[in-house]
Amino acid sequence: MRNNTLGSLIWLRLIRFTNQSNQMSNEFLKRFDLTTAQFDVLVQIRVYQPLTQMELADKATVTQGGISRMLVRLEKEGYIVRKQDWKTKTISLTAKAESILEQAMPEQLAFQSSFFDEVLNKEEQETLYSLMKRVHKHSQTKEIPPQ
């Protein structure tokens, strides 16, 4: 570990935190019969509906291939509907999904917020948010070095 830079140690902590948080969220969301990925997709649909599968894939934390399989499952379970309008197929939530999100959203947000609320004061949270926003923005423009 002594060869690691501070940046690589921060990256490893972020990865570990994200993995642990996702595992805990998956366990937490079982009470709503949802996974973290399904919750994310349903929230994205709720915010941007109606939207296409391509638009959803750009917004969600699921891979392009994973989104197709997930949408089939969510449609089969009655959470989404897909409508064809000439060449464009859009995705919207059903009343069943809206109802589940009404319950799950505040509980999941409170659960996730507790990771920060229990150890960081308001000023520390604002600083962390500002720093993470800056790093994220930079990552969106960063190019992968050639091999």
Determine the Cα–Cα distance for residues 78 and 15; give it in Å rounded to an integer: 33
In this prediction, what percent of the chain has a pLDDT beyond 90? Answer: 65
The pLDDT of 16-43, averaged and rounded, is 94
**16: in domain:** yes
Q: Total structural domains in the chain?
A: 1
Question: Residue 2: which pLDDT band, with cuts at 50, 70 and 90?
Answer: low
Q: Is the pLDDT of residue 47 over 80?
A: yes
Domain containing 77 — which CATH number? 1.10.10.10
**96: in domain:** yes
Q: Is the pLDDT of residue 63 over 80?
A: no
Does an H or E element contain 126, and which? helix 122-141
pTM: 0.82
DSSP state letter for 2: T
**147: in domain:** no
pLDDT at 53: 86
**145: in domain:** no
Determine the Cα–Cα distance for residues 50 and 88; give it in Å rounded to an integer: 11
**Domain limits at 130?**
6-140
Determine the Cα–Cα distance for residues 45 and 84; give it in Å rounded to an integer: 16
